[in-house]
Structure 1
């Protein structure tokens, strides 16, 4: 449900979260009991993309909603992919700066634009996934 709301493929979600695409599929199809680390990684990426998890109540079951920060970032203008900027983003991520913090920096594209680039640009998506998997550089 959350992946569909964000219009991400299984592979895109896997690359962004560091969770293997086959594991994402098994989790979605309830074919496995997921490891806590996998669920944490998926939840973190969903929250970073602006989703909020909602508990069941008297009116509806559990689900996801777009948070206020999602609406705000959606209003920002998208910027065409720029390899030089993408490499700078990767450098920041390797230093331990979150994608949200990078997007707040002067002259950087919005968070929504960066995630759009990650969906559309294989190199950028794989670099984000690599950094999420191994962590930032230790200096």
Structure 2
């Protein structure tokens, strides 16, 4: 959990409004990446469109990582690192999607491997998602 959300906002040049603070705290306190639906359920005081607009600002300012894990939508997690002008974050890591429980896990100790692209290609984002069965489901 990231404790100083307002400092994080300042680093990402985001104006701290009440709704933005609530949404960022919900993402910070989560043990796994959250979908828009997850956030709507967690924060009934803010409507879906308000949450979506806030996530859009967070995405534009590189405050969230946006993950496509194959679960018919995207999930968001708070970016605790810094990003340079190209949008490259220094806290990028591998994610694991369990095909049994449909949970997405952050494997923060597993860095994304360096992959080079051929000349002429410009990489804008990288989403390194592994899929399989998590340890909890494997034991069942």
What TM-score do the two structures reach when normalised by structure 2?
0.32
Q: Identify the structure with bigger relative contact order (alpha carbons < 8 Å, sequence gap 6+).
A: 1
- Whose helix fraction is larger, Structure 1's or Structure 2's? 1
